[in-house]
Structure 1
């Protein structure tokens, strides 16, 4: 039996487990560039308007940090620039999926059971990489086909798709290495996310450096490297060769490490803990906090950074609008009778609320991880009841995203207020906009609670609900979706008035809906088997 025996069977198993995740992943990321194409074509229909946009945006350092340098004014180049953050998203999803099917399987004990059958040592790693890379390639194909359908050059469309796929392949390999380093999936995710963050930071430093001597940092970053393919410009296809080399080296390192470690072990040994629990760990809430605190700190820091970036961009929104009446009308309609910048801030808070909903879902589903990992039963065998055990995690799932979102609002308002000279107005205004999004976040978290309590095997569908909201928010309006379909997303009701006031009735209804969904989930938890069969 060789090391790859059983790879096909494990790949089919991975596809079955991710049968809801992968189609959503491919559809959302694959369709976003064509949505950008429609948006730019509507807002800047003439070459002159696109040239004016290019002249303004290319000088904006904050936009360069977000998306990379803007190198031309053609429709394809504008799409490529505006999609500059997509390689980061594709990379993040890719490394998380690889870790899910490698280290997380070992941590849960399933890899040991599978390994007792006719399965090679490296089959699990090979299957995870094959499935992930195939999904990245599917994203590239969707991008290529849809952009060609919008009459964009075929070669450039294919190059843009391959740019995204190449970023995904690099960080899938990063996830494969990270999975060999630690004994826990959480640690592997942290290492992978840190590498991704460092790559993004290096790209920013290289693109925004005051001296040309900083450009080498961007060339060293996988994100910066794939963005230099220039899909609708120079089309540097040869850059795929160093990307492939990096992927091959990382996969080779991962295979070498996997061959030299014991199953379940990692390159970094576990740190022994205390022989006995401290008084601070003698309640379900304290245990939940111990499990969530690292994630909480990471999300708070990330939201503060996003707030600083979006707050810095806000001061230049008026300049970007310029004399374009179409764009001015879009921003004004988003904010009702409010100012253009207020409408921009409101739309930014809606985007950050969707990200916060992802944090809320992740925190809720920690309950399912504890259940399937066999750590819930010992706790429930004591005097701790099911609802008390769940309450600790749900309290953090409620407070954590709320604090993160309010932090983002405060930092956004502070940064923009300092640049505009009116902190007294902008800081509380941005915080109010962030607070208005909390009921929508609560609804998504409550959907996760409902699935956990009533249909635990379908918990992953809570991510599908969030993906649908993101798709409706980013694509629905531009695609001309009907109002009743847009109203399915709770974020429609917390952003409809944007810069102005949000309906108190809508917020109350969303809050009651979240409470009802959560109550149904907790009622189901009291009655079902643990662990669920």
Structure 2
């Protein structure tokens, strides 16, 4: 048997597949949509529900109630919290939604844009997942473009759904309603572009988010200071107002004297920021940022050693900004109190305001409602802090930490302590800011002690919310989003419970419903004791459950 030699043929070199900077953008977008479909659905439903609830209130108020609101809209405090105000001489439902809702919807959707952009760009690079994807046929700019497309799609859907709600509930023209919500979406896209630039500058997702939120906060302050300085008879804002993208959306004057050219500024600035982000993204190293973080110490000081120190370091930035932002808002709200006597009779003649504020002293009733809002703001931060252990576990950091000498009890207890202490700080600082704003305008009744008591009685209910979040994390980690469902119910019961005539069993689901009111009646200690007992029981269950289950959860 003989073997036949085969002459080797010419060596054929495989040509590398050519990819552009945008290769794989469509696949990345589909992946992002799959990951965030439920998150974005909740956002869309929440924004639409907020539009519906506010418009329902405006419709029920009637012309008399709306004119009472118009009087308050002329005060500096309300200009700071809402905007310059248009059409106040004959306040309509359309003018109310444009004047009072646009600012807050824009802030909410701007936060959504920032979080989504950073989540799918800088956070993915920081975790290392983006590097694995880039090893395939994925272009350099594909993740950024896909993230931007995701935000554009989400904002378009939210604008469409919200516009339909505004037209249906408020009885407003469909074209104007869609134009209003579309303008809010365009304003939010400016901050998406800001976040994309910040993601190129910073090496860490948390820093990129902080920079973007700082720009949003500066835009709010510039708009507020500019509008307050404006001539109320003209109400076109000032040069400082026009520095802010928020003012560009408000200056469209929807449903009053519409002019849509200011939205062109949103498009122009967004396009310019996207060009900047593309240039910066082409020049930096993958995984790195243009700003190189300074090196840390070789060893940690005593103040940074231990579970509590670590939990505090992780939460302190968010606590500081939350306290500062909410405190400024409650301070401005306190400035409205001095204007209430001018519209007392008008407000109490309206059945909607009478249902919400009740009979009697209007100032005390108003502060009682605002005190609930202060508590809801503190509860939102405390709930997020209580769910921080879940994020640490999902990121894989908890598993490494618990492999050391740190016990589960100490680690979970540290997060519990930070969540409770931070909630107390946000709550009591908010009450102090509310009192200071009212006192600055000459309102001294109720006293600081009475408002401090109002803030203190909500603390046991806040502890119940935190303890429930930790219990869900310990026993059923996948069910932790239920804490936010309960938070939404807290808001519905607290704000619309009387208006909707909800039965007591439905209200009783909210721990805030059991809180007594020290401003309008005597405090029932039994309710406070009951809330404390529930909080302690939930905490015990949380520690027992976390000790038994696997980390990470299956």
Query: What TM-score results when the alignment is normalised by the length of structure 2?
Result: 0.87
Number of aligned residues: 528
Instruction: Give the deviation of 1:465 after TM superposition.
Output: 3.5
Verify: 1:452 aligned to 2:473, yes or no: yes
The answer to whether residue 186 in structure 2 is matched with residue 166 in structure 1 is: yes
User: In terms of mean alpha carbon deviation, does 15-24 or 300-309 score higher?
Assistant: 15-24
Residues 36-78 of structure 1: CA deviation (Å, up to 9, x unaligned)? 22212222x23x6544543x23421110110002211122101
Contact map agreement 1:5 1:120 (CA 8 A) in 2: yes
Structure 1 stretch displaced more, 350-359 or 268-277: 350-359
Instruction: Name which of 206, 221, 226 aligns with 1:186.
Output: 206
Q: In 2 relative to 1, CA 449–26 (structure 1 residues): closer, same or farther, beyond 3 Å?
A: same
CA gap of 1:380–1:31, structure 2 versus 1, over 3 A, is: closer
Q: Which residue of 1 aligns with 2:25?
A: 7
- 357-366 vs 192-201, which deviates more? 357-366
What is the deviation of 1:202? 0.9
Among 307, 310, 319, the alignment partner of 1:284 is 307
**Secondary structure of 2:20 counterpart:** coil
Looking at structure 1, the residues matched to 94 and 295 of structure 2 have their Cα atoms a distance apart, in angstroms, of 54
Aligned residues of 2:473 and 2:480 also touching (Cα < 8 A): yes
CA contact (8 A) 2:355 2:498 kept: no
| Shift in Å, 1:98 | 1.8
Measure how far apart 1:194 and its partner are.
Answer: 0.7
2:184, 2:353 → 1: CA distance?
29
Tell me the distance in 2 between the aligned counterparts of 1:322 and 1:18.
Answer: 48
Q: Which has the larger radius of gyration?
A: 2
Structure 2 CA distance, aligned partners of 1:498 and 1:172? 43
Q: Choose which of 76, 82, 98 in structure 2 pairs with 1:67.
A: 82
Indicate yes or no: 2:215 matched with 1:195: yes
- Deviation of 1:203 after TM superposition, in Å, equals 0.7
Counterpart contact for 2:450–2:519, Cα < 8 Å: no
Aligned counterpart for 2:238 among listed residues 215, 220, 224: 215
Alignment partner, residue 116 of structure 1? 135
Aligned equivalents of 1:510 and 1:15: distance in 2? 41
* Distance in 2 separating the partners of 1:190 and 1:7: 27
Contact 2:356 2:495 in 1 (8 A): no
Deviation track 1:194-251 (CA, whole Å, cap 9, x = no partner) reads 1001100111122111568971121121101111111102222222222112122222
Deviation string for 1:324-370 (max 9, x for gaps)?
A: 4444x555554556521112112112222222122112222332333
Secondary structure (helix, strand or coil) at the match of 1:69 reads coil
CA deviations 1:423-455 (Å, max 9, x no partner) are: 7x4211111111222233223323321232223
Q: What is the rounded CA distance, in whole Å, between the counterparts of 2:465 and 2:195 in structure 1? A: 28
Distance 1:32 1:293, change over 3 A: closer
- Structure-1 residue corresponding to 2:6: none
Separation of aligned partners in 1, 2:412 and 2:172: 51
Q: Which residue does 2:266 correspond to in 1?
A: 243
200-209 vs 465-474, which deviates more? 465-474
Once structures 1 and 2 are overlaid, which stretch shifts more, 59-68 or 456-465?
456-465
1:494 is the counterpart of 2:509: no
> What RMSD over aligned residues (CA atoms) do the two structures have, in Å?
2.6
Which stretch has the larger CA shift, 384-393 or 121-130? Answer: 121-130
1:254 aligns with 2:272: no
Paired position in structure 2 for 1:357:
379
Who is 2:403 aligned against? 381
Q: Does 1:90 align with 2:109?
A: yes
Q: How far 1:389 sits from its partner (Å)? A: 1.4
* 1:390 Cα deviation from its structure 2 partner: 1.9
Unaligned runs of 5+ in 1: none
Q: What is the CA–CA distance in structure 2 between the aligned matches of 1:245 and 1:163, rounded to whole Å? A: 14
CA contact (8 A) 1:447 1:462 kept: yes
SS of residue paired to 2:240: helix
SS class of match (2:441): helix
Are the structure 2 counterparts of residues 481 and 363 from structure 1 closer, same or farther at C-alpha, using a change threshold of 3 Å? Answer: same
Instruction: Spell out, residue by residue over 1:469-508, the C-alpha distance to the aligned partner (whole angstroms, 9 max, x if none).
Output: 3355455655565554344333333377874345444433
